[in-house]
Amino acid sequence: MLHRRRFLLAATTLAAVPLLAHAQSDPRRLALLREITGGPLPAAGRVLVDTPPLADNGHSVPVRIAVDSPMSAADRVQQIVILAERNPRPVVARYALGPLCARAEISTRIRLADIQEVVALARMSDGSWWMGGTRVIVTELACLEDG
Amino acid sequence: MLARIQVPAQARQGEIVTIRIAIQHPMETGYRIDHFGRRIARNVIHTLAVRFGGTEVFSADMGSGVAANPFLQFHVRAQASGEFSFEWVDDSGARGSERATLTVV
């Protein structure tokens, strides 16, 4: 009886470990997210990061960020931030979208120093932050190599 | 600095137009070493601002993670005829600017 209880306890504790790790994420990422938003953690969702799944050159990886937003006068995206946490500088770029911007969408090309998840954050006009990400595999890396 | 800005010359009232910007610039990261072992100083276009008739439409704060010859694309609603201005500055203090006129028909 005792053994069974101990086993059950151990099993549930073990099962909870990856979940917890996922929820708390890594402390460096949390600190970075809080620094960008100025406090709140972004909610997951509404942000699409569109990249080729396999980029053969990390020096120039096309990225399209699209946010689920009507872009009306009352409900719109005000800011988009691109993060590449395994680059020497994790904040790649920040964009401010003014009232004339008609779509919550931008495209650019970025450098990736490693195989990693490219993350984008969006700040809505109600002050809420949302985020999404896509894992990109890079066969030739940028930044740390010469040339 | 050479730049190519694409803005349609004409649009209908309320139409969404696509704006593309490509600027010729090395976007030097600051992590590269030259042939004499010295670090090459960072030099990126850190700020780009787009205005339409004086009001801010779009702006970008960029770092060394943006690829060389930075490219940007976004979408704007054509409401009235006017002029877009594009201005950017790099770490060396070099400035560039372009203008493009949009006519609403």
Inform me whether the pLDDT recorded for B4 exceeds 60. Answer: yes
Overall domain count for chain B:
1
Inform me whether the pLDDT recorded for B6 exceeds 90. Answer: yes
Among the partner-chain residues A88, A92, A94, the one whose CB lies closest to the CB of B31 is A88
Domain that holds residue B85: 3-104
- Mean pLDDT computed over B43-51: 97
CB contact under 8 A, B60 and A93: yes
pTM over 0.90: no
For residue range A19-78, what is the model confidence (pLDDT) as tens digits? 444 445 688 899 999 999 999 999 999 999 999 989 989 999 999 999 999 999 999 999
Say what the ipTM of the complex is: 0.94
Read off the CATH number of the domain in which A85 is found. 2.60.40.2470
Domain that holds residue A88: 26-138
CB contact under 8 A, A98 and B65: no
User: H or E stretch including B17?
Assistant: strand B16-23
For residue range A112-142, what is the model confidence (pLDDT) as tens digits? 999 999 999 999 999 999 999 999 999 887 7
A2 vs A140: which has the higher pLDDT:
A140
pLDDT at residue B101, as a whole number: 96
Overall domain count for chain A:
1
Q: Work out the minimum CA distance from A82 to partner chain B, whole angstroms.
A: 9
Q: Is residue A6 part of a domain?
A: no
Read off the CATH number of the domain in which B58 is found. 2.60.40.10
pLDDT at residue A17, as a whole number: 44
